[in-house]
Amino acid sequence: MNARVRSIVELPATFAWLIVGSAWLITGCAGPAMAADTADAEASTARYRDADYVTVEKIDAHVHLHGEMPRFMQRAIADRFRVLTINVNYPDFPPLDEQLREAVELRRAYPHAVAFATTFDASDSTASGWTARTLAAIDAAIAQGAVAVKVWKDIGMQWRDRDGRVVMIDDERFTPLFQGLSERGVLVLGHQGEPRNAWLPLDRMTIRGDRGYFAEHPQYHMYLHPEWPSYDAQIAARDRWLDRNPELRFVGVHLASLEWDVKRVADFLRRYPRASVDLAARLVHLQRQSVSQHEAVRQFFIDFQDRVVYGSDLSGATAGDADLADEAHAAWRADWRFLTGNEVLRSTEFNGEFRGLDLPRSVVDKIYRENARRLLPQAW
């Protein structure tokens, strides 16, 4: 879990139901080659309308749900969303065994709408037999339905070994664990480091939500903790780890912690052709960049349309179920408008106007659904 930032787009509250008309199929006017060319051209130019939101099947591949969540699930199903709920060794969340139990129960209650990712506790990774025990626990979670494994920022930002050295993700002690996950073909969801804002003073952070989160969670405001590795050191360790594990199936969640520069995200994906990224809690950073770099941000989605996965980072428990349902609907609609529309938008998270990206339907479908299904074919 990290700074959960989402743009609230200010638009007139006008919604319309999609009216599906009939279309005539004209045959005999063109040969197969011409028909195929026409279909390709139409696919590259067709756009979704705002009203299409309620008709398109979508996947939010990054949420954190605890408990039964009936109102949230009702909202998700109405909005045509399936979800991946991700377990994390985060102090604000329930203990890991409770998270696993609740994820299994939620999956059983909504087998066609919910999948879940498991995780592990790295706090005792220097102990004898830790790798074998951890792999056994992951295997047990997979047997209960887990479809991926989360690797969190506590590695690199929280744990030290018995000699007082920071335990980083590229530590050789983790090699057998990730070799085992590679051999199993398990998808790894990697959250290494934090947004670069975490290493800045509050008044220099670029997103209002980051300022709020790190003010409330000073333990993760790394500007206050020079005793822990720098932002650049965190990213370098993650990259060395991926270099060491070239067969690992990997998603760099939160835009691989490179959210501050869309060109850096693109460079990461070029360097690691087996990797993907998700947008969870970082789409607002791309919106901010699109104020002055609209075409660069749009081209990123076009160029890497097969390797970007939609996620929101919504989190909540049964006690706040109704509030989360409302928050989810607002966030999902705002993100949809940015990715599919071409209106001029504003955000409460930063100053400046920006336009929607007006992405083709084929690209939107990949980001919202097809890429997640390809990465996690057993999930939904």
List pLDDT tens digits, range 53-75.
999 999 999 999 999 999 999 99
> Taken in order 128, 134, 139, 144, is the CA torsion positive or negative?
positive
Close Cβ partners of 285 (under 8 Å, ≥ 6 residues apart)? 5, 195, 206, 207, 255, 259, 260
Tell me which of 10-19, 165-174, 214-223, 332-341 is least confident: 10-19
Q: Please write the tens of the pLDDT for every residue from 248-276.
A: 999 999 999 999 999 999 999 999 999 99
List the helix and strand counts (H, then E) for the chain. Answer: 14, 11
Indicate the length of the chain as a whole number: 380
For residue 169, give the nearest of 62, 270, 256 by alpha carbon. 256
Q: Which long-range contacts (CB under 8 A, 24 or more apart) does 319-322 make?
A: 319/67, 321/67, 321/68, 321/69, 321/70, 321/71, 321/72, 322/71
What's the mean per-residue pLDDT of the chain? 91
Place of tokens 């209650």: 109
For residue 79, give the nearest of 113, 48, 51, 54 by alpha carbon. 54
Distance in angstroms (rounded) separating the CA atoms of residues 170 and 338: 36
Q: Is the pLDDT of residue 9 over 90?
A: no
Q: Please write the tens of the pLDDT for every residue from 132-161.
A: 999 999 999 999 999 999 999 999 999 999
Residue 145 · residue 104 · CB < 8 Å: yes
Provide the residue ranges of all domains of the chain, joining segments of one domain with +: 51-375
Over residues 173-185, mean pLDDT: 96
Cα–Cα separations (whole angstroms), residue 101 to 106, 138, 145, 247, 332: 9, 14, 11, 30, 27
Torsional class of 71: left (φ above 0), alpha (ψ -120 to 50), beta (otherwise) = alpha
State whether residue 117 is helix, strand or coil. strand
CATH classification of 51-375 is 3.30.950.10, yes or no?
A: no
Q: What is the pLDDT of residue 24?
A: 28
Distance in angstroms (rounded) separating the CA atoms of residues 207 and 256: 17
Torsional class of 155: left (φ above 0), alpha (ψ -120 to 50), beta (otherwise) = beta
Q: Is the pLDDT of residue 15 over 80?
A: no
Over residues 346-372, mean pLDDT: 98
Distance in angstroms (rounded) separating the CA atoms of residues 90 and 109: 25
Cα–Cα separations (whole angstroms), residue 262 to 139, 272, 277: 36, 16, 12
State whether residue 125 is helix, strand or coil. coil
| pLDDT top residue among 87 and 28 | 87
| Residue 45 pLDDT level (bands cut at 50, 70, 90) | confident
Q: What is the pLDDT of residue 140?
A: 98
Q: Is the pLDDT of residue 19 over 50?
A: no
| Residue 1 pLDDT level (bands cut at 50, 70, 90) | low
For residue 345, give the nearest of 332, 358, 355 by alpha carbon. 355
Q: Is the pLDDT of residue 365 over 60?
A: yes
